[in-house]
Amino acid sequence: MTHITNTLTVQTQSHDYPIFIGASTAVQIDLASPILPFIKGKQVLIVTNTTIAPLYLTDLTKHLVAQGLMVESCVLPDGEQYKNQEYINTIYDVLMKNHFARDCTLIALGGGVIGDMTGFAAASFMRGVNFIQVPTTLLAQVDSSVGGKTGINHPLGKNMIGAFWQPVCVLADMTTFDTLPKREFAAGLAEVVKYALIFDKTFLDWLEVNAAKITARDGAILSELVYRCCDYKAKIVASDERESGVRALLNFGHTFGHVIETHMGYGNWLHGEAVAVGMVQAMMMSQKLGLIGEDEVARVVDLLQIFDLPVKPPYIEPSVALDLMGHDKKVQNGSIRLVLLKELGKAFVTKDFDMAMLTEVLNANH
């Protein structure tokens, strides 16, 4: 049995869907029962990867088969480098070879990469089929399972091919964190801290108070944490599904983080690690603009360190970093948009800062 402690309803343009947050009460994890009512038709494809398959695939398949469902699986290699057309084709091939019809259901069992790929396969197979997310990483639970962004990478750019496609339900089971490596758990916490910094200072207080329980992966606390993060994101997405306005605030720390990820080569720094450092840099910018105090930056740096996250960037030549940020050399100031903090818990987007100041931040702290 899975004990659902929180249910959140996400509103989207196409339909509303629930995120079930809970934990398995038995030794044997049961990822099937909460999602069963959302399976359409008799044909189910579980898409997962070589890391997650040995942990959960057999049990989930067994539970679904016991309900009379015809279950196939597609096990992809684990990693962002496989989030491409070649591997999305392996999903299509399984669907076609097994004569899947339009009333089938695709289940994403894994982290963000599996969610993105399965979602895009569901969006594009027969022009759109039923899709359920079972995110097994903290990052996927608090970030990519809300918002409907799906897609794959193009050799010349990340996430360039995709669709907005909403799941019919999401199951975030805290028990899956038992098998999540420490570094990946920490990377997920970077996005958690981000929500606090851009939306809600009281959540920052809560994270500090509960930091020890969080790093000890206390199920009840994590359940509350995931609920709060999904709630922040769901509210943003509901007001801005196709990403024209306020959703941009979710990029806090990401412009700086992108520089680190790209320059260091994808996979060397985890996305969340780069975002953690990027948030520190964005706070330093905010501090230089007189918006937040040095003590506030220090407070967040402390929390990130408790969460085992890096807070200092690797050395990257500022001119290289500015190029990666898309700086237009013909424009002195105003060619780069940054998400900065007005205060802890309030973010805004601005182009109104001095390039010299940005260069100082890029030069500092490594």
Which amino acid does the sequence have at 138? L
Which residues are annotated as catalytic? 127, 149, 191, 233, 243, 247, 251, 254, 258, 271
Per CB under 8 A, residues contacting a second copy are 85, 89, 92-93, 96-97, 120, 123-128, 149-151, 154-157, 160-164, 242
Nearer to a second copy, 164 or 227 (CB): 164
CA atoms within 13 A on the CB side of 365: 21
What is the C-alpha separation between 357 and 287, in angstroms, rounded? 11
Strand 338-343 relative to strand 346-350, pairing:
antiparallel
Closest CB 326 distance from a second copy, rounded Å: 10
Nearer to a second copy, 66 or 99 (CB): 99
**Cβ proximity of 260 and 274 under 8 Å:** yes
Distances (CA, A) of 210 to 5, 95, 123, 132: 18, 44, 39, 31
Nearer to a second copy, 163 or 364 (CB): 163
Judged by DSSP in three states, 122 sits in helix
Nearer to a second copy, 125 or 307 (CB): 125
**Cβ proximity of 190 and 276 under 8 Å:** yes
Listed residue (219, 192, 186) closest to 305, CA to CA: 186
What is the C-alpha separation between 318 and 71, in angstroms, rounded? 52
Listed residue (233, 279, 248) closest to 351, CA to CA: 248
